[in-house]
Amino acid sequence: MLVDAMGIGRQSLYTAFGDKWQLYCSAVRRYGLGECAEHFDALRSGVRAIDGIRAMLDRVVSTADRPCLGVGSICEFGTARPDLAEIKASLSSSLHRAIASRIREAQREGTIADGLDPGEAAEFVMANIAGIRVAGRGGANPATLASLAALALKALQ
């Protein structure tokens, strides 16, 4: 499909990427960088830190019916492929840091419980993002997806 869409020969594609697996890993990396950038933009929005966290979750809810290459690759391969696991770990680490930072800010602002460990809370938010995406792909309606996001936020307060 790529060869046809790009109007190039198969050999040109493999010269650029090596093989199908390397092409797949490149696609996952590029997709993940784009998703992280969108998450970072949402996290920075709003007057308060909790507003940014809410905006990020709202964004996930609004796109949950679309395929997610990141969650799909995790469901398909888990940690069985070290090169893919490394890509996931790098992207996940930067997103985790950004969410944990906003959680710390929200704690200082008094909108997230002081007793929560920011790192653990960030893992919780990331797990909820994956869960919302899976639920959306599974056919959950927008109201259900929104309630999942609202419950995640409530758990932080």
For the stretch 95-135, pLDDT in tens is 999 999 999 999 999 999 999 999 999 999 999 999 999 99
CB 72 within 8 A of CB 35: no
Could you tell me the CA-to-CA distances from 118 to 76, 79, 82 in Å, in that order?
29, 25, 28
User: What is the fold of 32-156?
Assistant: Tetracycline Repressor; domain 2 (1.10.357)
The residues spanned by each domain of the chain are 32-156
Q: Which residues of the chain have pLDDT under 70?
A: 1-3
Give the pTM. Answer: 0.88
- Taking the C-alpha atoms of residue 18 and residue 11, their distance in angstroms, rounded to an integer, is 9
- Taking the C-alpha atoms of residue 71 and residue 74, their distance in angstroms, rounded to an integer, is 5
